[in-house]
A and B are shown apart, each in its own frame.
Chain A
Amino acid sequence: MATSESSSSATDKLLVDLHVSYIQKLGERSYLTLFPSFLLDHLQSHPQPPPNPLAPNPISPQSNPRKQNKDDLTYHLTAHLRLNAVYWGFTALSILGRPDALDREEMVAFVMSCWDEEAGGFGAHPDHDAHLLSTLSAIQILVMQNAVDRMDVDRVTKFILSLQQPSGVFAGDRFGECDTRFLYCAVNALSLLGRLDALDRERTVGYIERCRNYDGGFGSRVGAESHSAQVFVCVAALAILDRLDVVDVDTLGFWLAERQLPNGGLNGRPEKLADVCYSFWVLSALSVLNKVPWIDSDKLSEFILSAQASGSYNAESGGIADRPGDMVDVFHTHFGIAGLSILGYPGLIDLDPVYCMPAHVIEAKGLRKGWKALERRQG
């Protein structure tokens, strides 16, 4: 791989060891740089304390004398994603075949420290209020670590069900923001806990059905524009509920295939830039519909691999960025590796695209649906 000062150079191999050591930073202070660049952009627009204004260039933290201050800010700006980040990192490690790279006991203890006793769910961080996003991450981690017995399944189930609205959608927390993302979190979590029988399936499916748009896609709520990530959550929820009949497979399949741009990457909506995380959102939906071959998998693999850390500022750091030349983060690292797994990249563990967890974990629970990824190639 390139270690010169020159700008980023593409690489045609997945840098497994570097990615493993990158994700291991979850336990270190430098772990703050693992967060997505959209949070850093967001940080840039944040009104700053005058003595320590933000550096204008977020992609060179190593050379930035004000790094300390930025890290502190980044830390609390990303606290609401902490548990999710542990899930992203751990799932990526599992797909790389290195699930032991982070300490199991510490991870389970951290998950349990996010338990919100009052609400009966998990917050993203110790002392945060329970939320569906973090509750799903917690359950996914505990399932992968075979530690579900550590939590109160009845209470979590009750918490999840309490968030369903009369329309069928789910709120993320008791504050009431609604989104098909939260609906997916609820359906996925209940399924992992073996409690889907407690869900009002008709009402849930009915809401997804009302989110279907004329282009075959789905939005965040009724009336909202189709978006690849929302398509994934709706299609995966329907797969778990065995209701893929709601999907117009050909129309949606082609809409998803249309997301591939000449550079091989996938975007979230027409006329938007390609981004590595859509490798998962689009691919997972395509694999649930059994249409992965409809896109050019070689070009997509090349795109993901070219977004791996390379070039001057993160030559040895590992990780994958949203697109070539940008700063890496754990979110895109996870979804890049997840995408490569679906594309049959050699040496990776199979990812279940419906639950976004290792396929063997889901198979062991008897939850596997009829999705189809590309056959794994020999290295």
Chain B
Amino acid sequence: MPKKPQYDEPLFAELPEWADVKPVEQYEGVNPVAPIFYTPEYTDATNYFRAIVQSGEKSARVLDLTENIIRQNPAHYSAWQYRYETLIALLPTPTPSSHPLLTAEVELMDELAVLFLKTYQVWHHRRLLVQITREPQRELAFIKKGLEADSKNYHTWSYRQWILGFFGGKGSISKDGDEEIDEDLWASELDFVDVLLANDVRNNSAWHHRFFVVWACGVREGEEDRDRVLKRELIYSKQSISLAPSNPSAWNYLRGILTHTHTPFPLVSTFAQAYAYPRDPQASDKQREIVDLENPLPSDTAELPCAEAMEFLADAWESEGGQDKIEAAVKMWTSLANERDVMRKKYWEHRIRDAHVALRGELKKKAA
């Protein structure tokens, strides 16, 4: 395994095993727009790196050198690139996935990914490595750990989606994916999303991933009955909304699956209705006791009305058309514009204008 550089260690210039290399100084054209100030450690390592790039050497010590630079500056993309090329040059072809050099590299990446979570290069290097190791399951386990620490990290999530698409690809994402499809990769993906949403029902990344898994990448084994899947997902989103009504991620998911499956919005109107109005103190306890799984009610503490429900209901009505429905929708938008969502007043006014135009058209048709 490549040695971890210690900062009290000698500079490369002081190491006998590097004595044969003549370091190349950084371009020093003095330019006040971008002055150059580096630490001695960084200057030293990058001087040797420039020399290595010039000579084209690809040896084990280059792995030490590039690791040293990357630890000092994980965004040094040339060091990453040269490291990868060196690694490839040192590995036999075909490469057994258990090759010690490869294993060490993956372990090093596990460490660096945690240190430099938001650096693009860390993730790109992993993508290249896993195409050699061909161990996507290990990656899924690694990502899971990463998401426990930061459940919305964009790099981590898109890496997971890439792994699934590349090694288990079906549907839209598979075009530049793998020829051997590993269906097992998907086996616990939905459970994984469930756990994350149970921890934080407002996690938009997890909702997005749910859509990715269920709808965007082909049909998984056991999910062939799409009507059943839609029903399951409708219940799932409604229940999530009942836990936290003002959750745009859940409402967007609900809208997303309806649109994706060409299901008319009014199918969900009954559900949305319970969230779109102020709480009715007259509603009898008996009424509230009737448990309707298809239409779970808001909790007693939920803040009502919920703007997302009002918006949904108005959209459903507008899609049904007819003077009564459109007028009801306009009333809803007026309330959003003037009371519930004043910040986006102009948007709601735009919806009202459009609806009035449609209404006039309808009336004209009737008259004719």
Residue of B nearest to A82 (CB): B34
Indicate which residue in B41, B71, B173 contacts A222 across the interface (CB closer than 8 Å).
B173
Indicate which residue in B34, B39, B81 contacts A72 across the interface (CB closer than 8 Å).
B39
Segment 66-118 of B: residues with Cβ below 8 Å from A = 71-73, 75-78, 80-81, 84, 115-118
Question: Smallest Cβ distance from B35 to chain A, in angstroms?
Answer: 6
Query: Hey, which chain A residues are within 8 Å of B84, CB to CB?
Result: 175
CB of B346 within 8 A of CB of A294, answer yes
Query: Hey, which chain A residues are within 8 Å of B32, CB to CB?
Result: 27-28, 103, 106
Determine whether B192 belongs to the interface, using a CB cutoff of 8 Å to chain A.
no
Q: How many residues of A contact B (CB 8 A)?
A: 78
Do A175 and B343 contact each other (CB < 8 Å), given the known contacts A269-B204, A270-B249? no
Determine whether B186 belongs to the interface, using a CB cutoff of 8 Å to chain A.
no
CB of A227 within 8 A of CB of B77, answer no
Indicate which residue in B27, B73, B120, B257 contacts A76 across the interface (CB closer than 8 Å).
B73
Chain B 252-268, CB within 8 Å of chain A: the 1/0 string? 11011101100000000
CB of A294 within 8 A of CB of B347, answer yes
Determine whether B8 belongs to the interface, using a CB cutoff of 8 Å to chain A.
yes
| Stretch touching chain A among B11-19, B136-144, B205-213, B283-291 | B205-213
Segment 113-146 of B: residues with Cβ below 8 Å from A = 115-121, 124, 127-128
Determine whether A45 belongs to the interface, using a CB cutoff of 8 Å to chain B.
yes
Query: Hey, which chain B residues are within 8 Å of A269, CB to CB?
Result: 152, 204-205
Residue of A nearest to B25 (CB): A127
Residue of B nearest to A31 (CB): B35
CB of A258 within 8 A of CB of B208, answer no
Query: Hey, which chain B residues are within 8 Å of A176, CB to CB?
Result: 124, 128
Chain A 216-230, CB within 8 Å of chain B: the 1/0 string? 000111111111000
Residue of A nearest to B73 (CB): A76
Determine whether A370 belongs to the interface, using a CB cutoff of 8 Å to chain B.
no
Query: Hey, which chain B residues are within 8 Å of A224, CB to CB?
Result: 154, 157-158, 161
Chain A 326-361, CB within 8 Å of chain B: the 1/0 string? 000000000000000000000000000000000000
Query: Hey, which chain B residues are within 8 Å of A128, CB to CB?
Result: 77-78
Residue of B nearest to A271 (CB): B202
Determine whether B356 belongs to the interface, using a CB cutoff of 8 Å to chain A.
no
| Stretch touching chain B among A3-11, A152-160, A207-215, A276-284 | A207-215
Query: Hey, which chain B residues are within 8 Å of A82, CB to CB?
Result: 34
Determine whether B31 belongs to the interface, using a CB cutoff of 8 Å to chain A.
yes
**Is chain A's binding surface mostly helix, strand, loop or mixed?**
loop
A27–B34 alpha-carbon span in the complex (Å): 6
Give the one of A26, A29, A174, A177 with max B CB within 10 A: A177
Determine whether A73 belongs to the interface, using a CB cutoff of 8 Å to chain B.
yes
| Stretch touching chain B among A47-55, A185-193, A306-314 | A47-55
CB of A80 within 8 A of CB of B152, answer no
CB of B158 within 8 A of CB of A76, answer no
CB of A257 within 8 A of CB of B249, answer no
Query: Hey, which chain B residues are within 8 Å of A377, CB to CB?
Result: none
Question: Smallest Cβ distance from B345 to chain A, in angstroms?
Answer: 8
CB of A45 within 8 A of CB of B38, answer no
What is A's interface to B at a CB cutoff of 8 Å? 26-29, 31-32, 38, 42, 45-50, 69, 71-73, 75-77, 79-80, 82, 86, 102-103, 106-107, 109-110, 113, 125-129, 131, 165-167, 172-177, 179, 210, 213-215, 219-227, 253-255, 257-258, 260, 262, 269-272, 291, 293-296, 299
What is B's interface to A at a CB cutoff of 8 Å? 7-8, 26-27, 29, 31-39, 41-42, 50, 71-73, 75-78, 80-81, 84, 115-121, 124, 127-128, 152, 154, 157-158, 161-162, 164-165, 172-173, 175-176, 202-205, 208-209, 211-212, 215-217, 248-249, 252-253, 255-257, 259-260, 342-347, 350
21 A-B contact pairs sorted by A residue (CB < 8 Å): A42-B119, A46-B115, A71-B37, A75-B36, A76-B39, A76-B72, A76-B73, A107-B33, A110-B31, A110-B34, A113-B29, A125-B34, A127-B26, A173-B81, A174-B81, A175-B77, A214-B215, A223-B216, A225-B209, A271-B203, A294-B350
Beyond A42-B118, A76-B39, A214-B252, 10 additional contacts (C-beta under 8 Å) are A73-B39, A75-B38, A107-B33, A127-B27, A176-B124, A223-B162, A223-B216, A225-B208, A257-B347, A296-B344
